[in-house]
Amino acid sequence: MGDPALLAVDNVSKTYLTGDVPVRALIGVSLEVRPGELLAVMGSSGSGKSTLMNLLGCLDRPSEGRYLIDGRDVSRLSRAELAVVRNRLIGFVFQSFQLLPRTSAVENVELPLLYRPLLAGERRRRALQALARVGLAERAGHHPNQLSGGQQQRVAIARALVGEPKVVLADEPTGNLDSVTSVEVMALLQQLVADGITVVLVTHEHDIAAFASRVITVKDGRVVTDVRQTPVPAVPHPTVAVAGTLHATGVP
C-alpha cells in the first residue's frame, strides 16, 4: 500500500453551533483513503459519520485541520471552488436517490455535465453511456416515477459516475431497498471499484459492510475501529436483470 492517499483527512475537527451550544461533531479525525478502496463507514446516528461524509464530499468545510483530495488542499476553498471540485472529482449516491422528478432518466444522469463546458450532443452521449454501464440504456426516457427503487438507485449511480470522478460517496445507498436490490446495487459499486473508482459508503448494516474492503467505525466524533478485510463478492440473484447488465459491460 505505497500509493499516495486519494483522500487525506488530517486531524480534522468540526464544531457546529446549535443555538449558543457548540456541538463537536468530529474531534481530531485523521483518515487516509487510497485509490481502489471500497470503504464502509459505520456508526450509530449522531456518531459524526454524516458530518465526515459531508466533509469528504466537499459539501462542508472543517473547523480545524486539513483535507486533501488527490494531493490538493480543499479545506479553505470558497463555496464556488468547492462546487467545481465536487463537479470534477466526486460522485454522490444518496439513500433517497435524489432524482429530479418529472425529468427523464437520461436528463437526470446529464445533470453534472450541465455544469461543464460541453455541447448538448456530447452530454447526451456520455449520459447514455453511463446509463448503459448500470444496465438501464433502454430506460433512458423513463421518468423516476416509472422506475422501481432499484432502478432509480442505478440511475443515481449512473449520475454519480457520468463525470468520471475519482471517488463516489454513497450515503446509505441500500437504506431504502430490499435485500435483493441491495445486492444488485452493491455489485454495481464493486464494479466501479474494479473499474478504478474509489468508493466510500455509509451504512449501518453489517451484511452491506461485508462487501467493502475496509470498514471504519465512528463513535462520538472519533474513528474508533479501522479494519481491512477481504470483500464478499456481491452476486446478484441470477433471475435479476442486472446479471445481463454486468455481462454487457464486460464482466463475466
Partner 1 sequence: MSPLSVLRVALRALVRNKMRAGLTTLGVVIGVGAVVAMVAIGEGAKAQVQKAFESMGTDLIVVLPGSQNFGGMQGGFGSGQTLTWDDLHAIQTELSAVRAAAPQLRTNTPVLGDGNNWGTQVMGTTADFFVVRNWALQFGRPLQASDVDGATKVAVLGQSVAEQLWGEPARAVGDVLRIKGVPYEVIGVLTPKGQSPMGMDYDDVVLVPAKTFMTKVQGGIKQNIPGSILVAAKNGRESARTAQQVQALLRDRHKLVDGDPDDFSIRNLAEMANAQQQGTQTLTMLLMAIAAVSLLVGGIGIMNIMLVSVTERTREIGVRMAVGARPVDVLLQFLVESLTLSVIGGAIGVGVGVGGAWLLTAKFGWPTVVRPDVIAIAVGFSALIGVGFGLYPARRAAALDPIQALRYE
Rounded to a whole number of angstroms, the minimum distance from the CB of residue 218 to partner 1 is 17
x/- mask, partner 1, residues 31-70, rule CB under 8 A, reads -----------------------x--x-xx----------
Distance, in Å, from the CA atom of 224 to the CA atom of 245, rounded to the nearest integer, reads: 38
Q: Is 180 in the site for partner 1 (CB under 8 A)?
A: no
The x, y and z cell numbers of residue 127, run together, are 449520459
27 scored as a contact of partner 1 (CB under 8 A) = no
Q: How far apart (Å, rounded) are the C-alpha atoms in residues 22 and 79?
A: 23
Instruction: Tell me: does residue 143 bind partner 1 (CB under 8 A).
Output: no
Backbone angle region of 44, left / alpha / beta, with phi > 0 → left and psi within -120 to 50 → alpha: beta
DSSP state of 101: T
The count of other CB atoms within 10 Å of the CB of residue 216 is: 22
Minimum Å distance from CB 26 to partner 1? 14
Our CB check for partner 1 shows the closer of 91 and 135 to be: 91
CA-to-CA dists, residue 75 to 65, 127, 169, 171, 198, angstroms: 8, 31, 18, 21, 20
- How far is residue 65 from each of residues 57, 73, 84, 85, 201, measured CA to CA in Å? 16, 10, 21, 19, 22
92 binds partner 1 (CB under 8 A): yes
Site membership for partner 1, residue 76 (CB under 8 A): no
- The verdict on 87 binding partner 1 (CB under 8 A) reads yes
| By the rule CB under 8 A, 210 interacts with partner 1 | no
Which residues bind to partner 1, rule: CB under 8 A? 54, 57, 59-60, 79-80, 83-84, 86-88, 92, 94, 98, 100, 102, 111-112, 114-117, 120, 159, 163
